[in-house]
């Protein structure tokens, strides 16, 4: 199985398939009469970005947003589908247009499920988004609606996922690798989002490049809280998430890791399939590991564990192999503090792995929080990078052909 087949998920980003969404099927909204549009640079087009309200009303076919200082009731039937942005195991995300406010949004469709567990996850995503509405590093949540059997989640539209960006940026036709400034701002933004989530007792559990979204204005935000978990005494109990980015303790509890090490020392093969995915619970340190793997992937343009034949081999490598690190040929492109920062994210012993606040104070990121001018400078460099990559992809047929339509 390839990396793409192992990774599942959807993105509320504005880069994706340019095909028109079908109308009417499965409760989908009617297709827009407006022509399909490439990623809409909200800042450049000077569209007023609605201010989200913390919607806590029962689900109906409308929600309330604040636009230009006024509260506006926005109905599901008023939204016009522009195109599909992404498809994942938990739903479909479309780019939609609202004529009344002349704004674009990302709209996630979740088919209402009779399965109690799946329905719980759907409600959990809405609840997490409501609680994260004040975090500037999580996608804005405008409200949730219920329409023709679907739960609809209305969110801020971003321009691309970081997975989309890096697959295009490292395409030889484009050749725009991530710079140190861009990678630094990604690390800072994601850590700020995860730290905020931790402060409201929530763990993301699915940190990966396709759940990190970027805008042409340089913002980097986390999305897809469909499997986020509420922490019980700082511990998450259920084990979900993309296998590519699972921390070692999410594959094998530390006690079992010691047993497999003893088995290998005695000549055995260590890991066996019956022991996989039986954690005793894990902390938000698992999200730190996922961030570290993601940063190595963004810095190099490839998944650090390389091609794997299937989930069992992948799990074995995560548990047994040394943690990922920047290859020698990539180190020169980045600040000398980055390898040390990554090593603190990718400590295999979760008890020794650094936490969010400590990483935000690491020399690689130190001072960004207290220096608005520095943060603005990093954001501006990220904006230039995002625009360059997206413009290169839209202007080159070879680059467009390689640009992923599903994330």
pLDDT in tens, 31-77: 444 332 323 333 333 344 566 655 566 778 888 888 888 888 999 99
**pLDDT on residue 23:** 39
The CATH superfamily holding the domain 8-155 is Phosphorylase Kinase; domain 1 (3.30.200.20)
| Choice among 118-122, 344-348, 380-384 with the minimum mean pLDDT | 118-122
Tell me the pLDDT tens digit for each residue of 129-178. 888 788 899 998 888 888 888 889 899 999 999 999 999 999 999 999 99
**In which band, very low, low, confident or very high, does the pLDDT at 200 lie, cut at 50, 70 and 90?**
confident
pTM of the model: 0.79
Question: For residue 292, what pLDDT band results from cuts at 50, 70 and 90?
Answer: very high
Across all residues in the chain, what is the average pLDDT?
78
| 71/303: higher pLDDT | 303
Residues 6-10, mean pLDDT to the nearest whole number? 45
Of 47, 37, 35, nearest to 17 (Cα)?
A: 37
When mean pLDDT is compared across 158-167, 194-203, 272-281, the lowest value belongs to: 272-281
Q: Is the pLDDT of residue 405 over 70?
A: no
Give the phi and the psi of residue 7 in degrees, each rounded to 5. -95, 130
Q: Is the pLDDT of residue 250 over 50?
A: yes
Which residue pairs from 397-401 have beta carbons closer than 8 angstroms and sit at least 24 positions apart in sequence? 398/171, 398/173, 399/168, 399/171, 399/173, 399/174
180 is catalytic: no
Burial 211-243 (b: 16+ CB within 10 A, else e): bbbbbbbbbbbbbbbbbbbebeeeebeebebbb
Question: Cα separation of 325 and 183, whole Å?
Answer: 15
| Band of residue 402 on the pLDDT scale cut at 50, 70, 90 | very low
321 phi/psi in degrees, rounded to 5: -75, 160
Residue 47: burial class (beta carbons within 10 Å; 0-12, 13-18, 19+): middle
Residue 111: per-residue pLDDT: 77
Which overall architecture, per CATH, does domain 160-389 show?
Answer: Orthogonal Bundle (1.10)
Reading phi first (left if > 0) and then psi (alpha if -120 to 50, else beta), residue 77 is in alpha
What is the model's pLDDT at position 87? 80
Domain with CATH 3.30.200.20 in the chain: 8-155
Query: What are 28's two structure tokens?
Result: 């989908």
Residue ranges, CATH 1.10.510.10, the chain: 160-389
Q: Are 184 and 298 in contact (CB under 8 A)?
A: no
- How much of the chain, in percent, has pLDDT values that exceed 90? 45
Of 94, 150, 159, 206, which is the active-site residue? 206
The answer on pLDDT for 254 being more than 50 is: yes
The pLDDT tens digits for 117-136 are 776 777 777 877 888 788 89
Q: What is the pLDDT of residue 91?
A: 76
Q: Is the pLDDT of residue 232 over 80?
A: no
| pLDDT bracket for residue 89 (50, 70, 90) | low
Taking each helix axis from N to C end, the angle separating 285-300 and 180-199, rounded to the nearest 10 degrees, works out to 160
For residue 102, pLDDT over 60 is answered with yes
pLDDT of residue 301: 96
């Amino acid at each position: 199985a390839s990396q793409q087949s192992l990774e599942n998920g959807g993105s509320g980003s504005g880069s994706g398939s340019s095909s028109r969404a079908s109308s009417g099927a499965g409760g989908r909204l009617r297709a827009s009469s407006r022509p399909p549009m490439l990623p809409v640079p909200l800042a450049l087009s000077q569209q007023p970005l609605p201010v989200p309200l913390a919607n806590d009303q029962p689900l109906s076919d409308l929600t309330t947003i604040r636009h230009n200082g006024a509260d506006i009731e926005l109905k599901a039937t008023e939204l016009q589908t522009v195109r599909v942005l992404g498809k994942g195991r938990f739903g479909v995300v479309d780019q939609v247009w609202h004529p009344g406010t002349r704004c674009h949004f990302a709209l996630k469709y979740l088919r209402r499920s009779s399965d109690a567990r799946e329905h719980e996850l759907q409600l959990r995503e809405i609840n997490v988004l409501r609680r994260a509405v004040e975090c500037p590093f999580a996608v804005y949540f405008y409200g949730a609606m219920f329409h023709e059997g679907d739960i609809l989640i209305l969110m801020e539209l971003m321009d691309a996922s970081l997975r989309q960006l890096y697959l295009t940026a490292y395409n030889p036709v484009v050749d725009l690798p991530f710079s140190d400034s861009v990678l630094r701002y990604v690390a800072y933004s994601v850590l700020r989002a995860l730290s905020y989530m931790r402060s409201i007792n929530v763990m993301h559990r699915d940190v990966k490049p396709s759940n990190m979204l970027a805008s042409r204005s340089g913002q980097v935000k986390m999305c897809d809280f469909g499997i986020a978990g509420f922490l019980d005494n700082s511990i998450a109990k259920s084990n979900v998430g993309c296998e590519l980015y699972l921390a070692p303790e999410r594959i094998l509890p530390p006690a079992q890791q010691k047993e497999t090490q003893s088995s290998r020392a005695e000549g055995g093969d260590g890991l066996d399939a019956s022991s996989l995915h039986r954690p005793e619970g894990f902390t938000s340190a698992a999200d730190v590991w996922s961030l570290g793997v993601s940063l190595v992937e963004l810095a190099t343009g490839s998944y650090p564990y390389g091609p794997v034949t299937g989930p069992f081999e992948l799990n074995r490598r995560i548990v047994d192999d040394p943690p990922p690190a920047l290859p020698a040929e990539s180190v020169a492109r980045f600040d000398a503090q980055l390898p040390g920062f990554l090593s603190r994210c990718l400590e295999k012993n979760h008890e020794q792995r650094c936490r969010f606040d400590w990483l935000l104070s690491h020399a690689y990121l130190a001072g960004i929080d207290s220096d608005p001018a520095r943060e603005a400078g990093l954001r501006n460099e990220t904006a230039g990078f995002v625009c360059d990559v997206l413009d290169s992809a839209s202007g080159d047929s070879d680059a467009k052909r390689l640009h992923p339509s599903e994330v």
